[in-house]
Amino acid sequence: MFNSKRFLLFIFLIPFFTFDAIAQNNYTINGVVKDSLSGETLIGVTLKFTASGQSGTSTNAYGFYSYKLSGGEYNLNVSYIGYKSINKKIKVNSDIRLDLNMIPENILEEIVISAEKRNDNIINAQMGVAKINLNEIRNVPVLFGERDVLKTLQLLPGIKSAGEGNSGFFVRGGSIDQNLILLDEAPVYNASHLLGFFSTFNSDAIKDVSVFKGGMPAQYGGRLSSVLDIRMNDGNKKEFTAEGGLGLISSRLKLEGPLLENKSSFMISGRRTYADAFLALSSDSAINRNTLYFYDLNAKVNYQIDDENTIYLSGYFGRDELGLSETFGFDWGNATSTLRWNHLFSNRLFSNTSLIYSNYNYVIQNFLEDNNFKVNSSIRDLNLKQDFQLALNNSHNVRFGLDLIRHTISPGSITSSATSSVNEITIEKRKGSEIAAYISDEWEVNDKLNLVYGLRTSSFFLFGPGEFFTYDSEGNTTSSRVYNSGQLVQSYINLEPRISASYQLNGFASLKTSYTRNAQNLHLMSNSTASSPTDLYIMSSNNVKPELADQISLGYFRNFMDDNYEFSTELYYKKMQNQIDYRSGTDLRGNTKVESELLFGDGRAYGIEFFLKKRFGKLNGWVGYTLSKTERQFNDIDMGEWFNAKQDRTHDLSLVGIYKAGERWTLSSTFVFNTGNAVTFPSGKYQINNRTFFSYPKRNSDRMPDYHRLDVSATLEGKPNRKLKSSWSFGIYNLYNRQNAFTIDFREDPENSSRTQAVQTTLFGIIPSVTWNFKF
């Protein structure tokens, strides 16, 4: 295993060094691109150097770019959505440091068809990626008027909502835990509040959101389906600003400003819901002593030591609190922090070192005297990442690095007082490490062909201490062994090749293809149809093998009308191995032998996605449509037949329209339609002990009713040129009050016990919202 790995690494390294040797480019141009007003660095800005051809680069996650050029004169074109393009002549006869400031423009006001090409989507070899522009989603209507990147994300093809009003999502047939959600590089294990109705990401604090649903670059790994990479704002470097909003169920406030002129700035942003304020209004003491709220806090500081060194420290803390007066308490939340150091080893070798901490835990408390107990459960990560980005020459951009993660999972410890009937139980902690190394090269082979190819080797090690059981295929214990602290229990090594290519057919159309393999060593245990904050993570082990996915995709990308319209279609096929399901009657709570309850099988997902977007003008927006199929196969379920996964939805359509109606009004609307989820309905009934029960056919062979919904919103901007900028957002969720089925339950007819009935529960009918936002 190890030899073949080395050999492969060697093969991958050859092209980089040979190309470097023959490179004829003599000079390096580098720098940082920033917003001219706030001093925020800009991610993904395109820089093009035109003398001959159309070569160029783009800024990385820290706004940095580096490019090699031979001597001569170039036209530099710098473009970024939402900003005025920069065109300037540069003369290259030495290495150049060129920092750029871009002036923001209100994209909605722009009707002029821009002269320059904005066709990165065509040229770039990366596929299966979507970026969310925070300005763009500002006006997309959402539930309760709470802007939410995770919900806006679900309006893109290939990304499906896990349920009504739910911030959980499925990407190309994958489950919720197969999405890697990163906030400033720190994994967020439970990205939702209040059982899924809100995401943990407060839009105020977010600068950039990218989601990779296929063709995942080699620097990312650890999950099968997708990576959602969310970057927080650094903080305004030029002036102190405050912004916030008052909504029906929550309020937000963000403060940011410089600490040292042009050197250091900070950002702090908070949000709290006050749903329980309504509870307190009740005169019934059984209601007003309950609690139900969540809050989030994001904070970041940065310090630019010199042109070569910048340090960032960012953190997130969020918590949900639920309490029933004097009987029951339940709270959960994430805490993450990231310390980063950007360093320029040379003008073309960029380095980032990150030290990351992430913790998710929940606490359940029962205060009833004779049954009292307290459950604590957590997953904690310590993560060191070292990433290098090397501009080898104008046709090779190399990225390589290391990713070391230490996981500690405490599945649960139960404590109780002496008067309680509940025993104190602690389920053993589990410790494991993931070590990954990666290298990739973005290679402009020629004017038409672009390649990104790379390799990630991921290894996983499960360590003692603890007693580890081995189970047979029936779930019976066959052996057990006690391991000492630090003793290796099990290890896995996986090679994950990643390759994508684009071939430009002409200036406005290209074909792309990609193949990726991903491995996953953390598995979320949830045998229910909905996710819960108490869902537990386990690691790969002697019983649980790493989940694997191989995905191939093929795409056609085309821009119309001077890049005003963008169209893409992607066809994908994904094969998944070592997928997890559960035996009948499994109780995952406080289970010391969880792994004995698991079934292992395969999955497959395939589909075609269409995306058409109007990028500029008074009216803009997009249409996304996905036709897909997702199935699973387990030997112990339905005699090994393939069955529809719960993620399977044949049709999924989203329409988003944003219309700038005048100086101050913006109107927007979204419409979604999808085939109902695959579910299992009764196929008959019978009696046991005079109670009626149902018999069920093959798993997920039925469908919930089709889901559709229209939302609208209107935003009124305050009068311009005032110190205090304010706006009002009015929204209506589910405008035509569609009674979408959240659940369908079956029960005896209360009027006539010999009859049985189906009962549909609708969660959200028509819901108006209003939010007042301000900034000064």
Partner 1 sequence: MKYLSNNYKLFIYTIAAIFSLSSCEKVIDLELKNAAPVIVIDGTISNQNENHTVRISRTIPFDSTTTFKGVKGAKVTLKSILGQSFAFTEVTDGVYRSSRFRGTPSLSYVLEVSADGKTYSAESTMPFPVVPDSVGFRTLSFFGDSNIYPVVYYKDPPKVQNQYRYILKVNDKLQGDLVFEDRFNDGNAVSDIIIFDGDIKKGDLVEIEMQTIDRNVFKYFFALSQIDGNGGPPVAPANPNSNFSNGALGIFNACTKSTKSVIVK
- Map the footprint of partner 1 across residues 613-652, applying CB under 8 A: 637, 646
φ and ψ at 281, to 5 degrees? -70, -20
The three-point CA angle 502-508-510 to 5° equals: 20
Q: How far apart are CA 320 and CA 506, in angstroms?
A: 52
Looking only at residues 151 through 210 of this chain, which bind partner 1 when binding is defined by CB under 8 A? 165, 194-195, 197
For partner 1, the closer CB: 16 or 746: 746
487 is a contact residue toward partner 1 (CB under 8 A): no
Q: How far apart are CA 169 and CA 649, in angstroms?
A: 13
Q: How far apart are CA 609 and CA 182, in angstroms?
A: 25
Where does this chain touch partner 1 (CB under 8 A) — which range of 129-137, 224-232, 403-411, 415-423? 415-423
For partner 1, the closer CB: 486 or 684: 684
475 is a contact residue toward partner 1 (CB under 8 A): no
SS3 label, residue 747: strand
CA dihedral angle for residue 156, residue 161, residue 164, residue 165, rounded to 10 degrees: -70
242 is a contact residue toward partner 1 (CB under 8 A): no
Output the CA torsion sign for 595, 599, 602, 606: negative
SS3 label, residue 445: coil
716 is a contact residue toward partner 1 (CB under 8 A): no
For partner 1, the closer CB: 368 or 724: 368
Contact 377, 534 (CB under 8 A): yes
For partner 1, the closer CB: 125 or 605: 605
Q: Which residues pair with residue 27 across a beta bridge? A: 69
Site string for partner 1, 76-115 (x = CB under 8 A): ----------------------------------------
Q: Which 3-state string (H, E, C) describes 565-632?
A: EEEEEEEEEEEEEEEEEECCCCCCCCCCCHHHHEEEEEEEEEEEEEEEEECCCCEEEEEEEEEEEEEE
Looking only at residues 583 through 602 of this chain, which bind partner 1 when binding is defined by CB under 8 A? 583-587, 589-590
Helices (DSSP H) in 208-274: which residue ranges? none
711 is a contact residue toward partner 1 (CB under 8 A): no
404 is a contact residue toward partner 1 (CB under 8 A): no
For partner 1, the closer CB: 144 or 312: 144
Burial of 668 (0-12, 13-18, 19+ CB in 10 A): buried
Residue matched to tokens 């939702």: 192
For residue 140, give both structure tokens: 């997309």
For residue 84, give both structure tokens: 């005025």
Considering only the C-alpha atoms of the chain, give the largest distance between any 2 of them, rounded to a whole number of Å: 91
For partner 1, the closer CB: 234 or 597: 597
For partner 1, the closer CB: 307 or 587: 587
For partner 1, the closer CB: 512 or 632: 632
Minimum distance of partner 1 from residue 692's CB (angstroms): 6
Minimum distance of partner 1 from residue 685's CB (angstroms): 6
Among 67, 144, 463, 616, binds partner 1 (CB under 8 A): 144
Minimum distance of partner 1 from residue 673's CB (angstroms): 19
Contact 444, 452 (CB under 8 A): no
256 is a contact residue toward partner 1 (CB under 8 A): no
Minimum distance of partner 1 from residue 490's CB (angstroms): 27
Looking only at residues 298 through 337 of this chain, which bind partner 1 when binding is defined by CB under 8 A? 322, 324-325, 327-328, 330
Minimum distance of partner 1 from residue 231's CB (angstroms): 30
287 is a contact residue toward partner 1 (CB under 8 A): yes
Looking only at residues 209 through 228 of this chain, which bind partner 1 when binding is defined by CB under 8 A? none
Q: What is the total count of residues that contact partner 1 (CB under 8 A)?
A: 95
Which regions of 661-723 does DSSP assign to beta strands (E)?
Answer: 665-674, 678-679, 684-688, 691-695, 702-703, 707-717
Looking only at residues 368 through 397 of this chain, which bind partner 1 when binding is defined by CB under 8 A? 368, 370-371, 373, 375
SS3 label, residue 195: helix
Q: Which residues pair with residue 386 across a beta bridge? A: 353, 402
Where does this chain touch partner 1 (CB under 8 A) — which range of 1-9, 308-316, 501-509, 749-757? 749-757
Q: How far apart are CA 362 and CA 193, in angstroms?
A: 12
Where does this chain touch partner 1 (CB under 8 A) — which range of 112-120, 276-284, 391-399, 432-440? 276-284
Where does this chain touch partner 1 (CB under 8 A) — which range of 513-521, 559-567, 719-727, 742-750? 742-750
52 is a contact residue toward partner 1 (CB under 8 A): no
Q: How far apart are CA 507 and CA 624, in angstroms?
A: 24
For residue 76, give both structure tokens: 């530099």
Got the DSSP string for 80-105?
A: -TTB--EEEEEEESS-EE--EEE-B-
Among 295, 332, 572, 582, binds partner 1 (CB under 8 A): 582
Looking only at residues 667 through 686 of this chain, which bind partner 1 when binding is defined by CB under 8 A? 679-686
Where does this chain touch partner 1 (CB under 8 A) — which range of 219-227, 271-279, 437-445, 500-508? 271-279
Looking only at residues 517 through 556 of this chain, which bind partner 1 when binding is defined by CB under 8 A? 527-532, 534
Where does this chain touch partner 1 (CB under 8 A) — which range of 95-103, 114-122, 366-374, 485-493? 366-374
For partner 1, the closer CB: 413 or 726: 413
φ and ψ at 152, to 5 degrees? -65, -35
Nearest by Cα to 502 from 108, 109, 121: 121
283 is a contact residue toward partner 1 (CB under 8 A): no
For partner 1, the closer CB: 52 or 754: 754
Nearest by Cα to 695 from 707, 706, 684, 709: 684
421 is a contact residue toward partner 1 (CB under 8 A): yes
Contact 225, 218 (CB under 8 A): no
For partner 1, the closer CB: 386 or 680: 680
Residue 31 Ramachandran class (φ > 0 left, ψ -120 to 50 alpha, else beta): left
The three-point CA angle 604-608-612 to 5° equals: 150
SS3 label, residue 639: helix
Minimum distance of partner 1 from residue 585's CB (angstroms): 3
Q: How far apart are CA 362 and CA 308, in angstroms?
A: 41
Strand pairing report for 96-97 and 27-35 = parallel
Strand pairing report for 702-703 and 651-660 = unpaired
Where does this chain touch partner 1 (CB under 8 A) — which range of 39-47, 117-125, 545-553, 577-585? 577-585
For residue 572, give both structure tokens: 């994908």
148 is a contact residue toward partner 1 (CB under 8 A): no
Minimum distance of partner 1 from residue 375's CB (angstroms): 8
Minimum distance of partner 1 from residue 154's CB (angstroms): 18
Nearest by Cα to 497 from 481, 519, 480: 519
Minimum distance of partner 1 from residue 709's CB (angstroms): 13
For partner 1, the closer CB: 506 or 690: 690
346 is a contact residue toward partner 1 (CB under 8 A): no
Minimum distance of partner 1 from residue 402's CB (angstroms): 39
Among 22, 284, 473, 721, binds partner 1 (CB under 8 A): 284
For partner 1, the closer CB: 292 or 455: 292
Among 281, 689, 720, 721, binds partner 1 (CB under 8 A): 689
For residue 426, give both structure tokens: 């602690």
For partner 1, the closer CB: 198 or 316: 198
Number of neighbouring beta carbons within 10 Å of residue 214: 26
760 is a contact residue toward partner 1 (CB under 8 A): yes
Minimum distance of partner 1 from residue 588's CB (angstroms): 8
User: Distances from the Cα of 269 to the Cαs of 56, 202, 232, 318, in angstroms?
Assistant: 36, 8, 10, 12
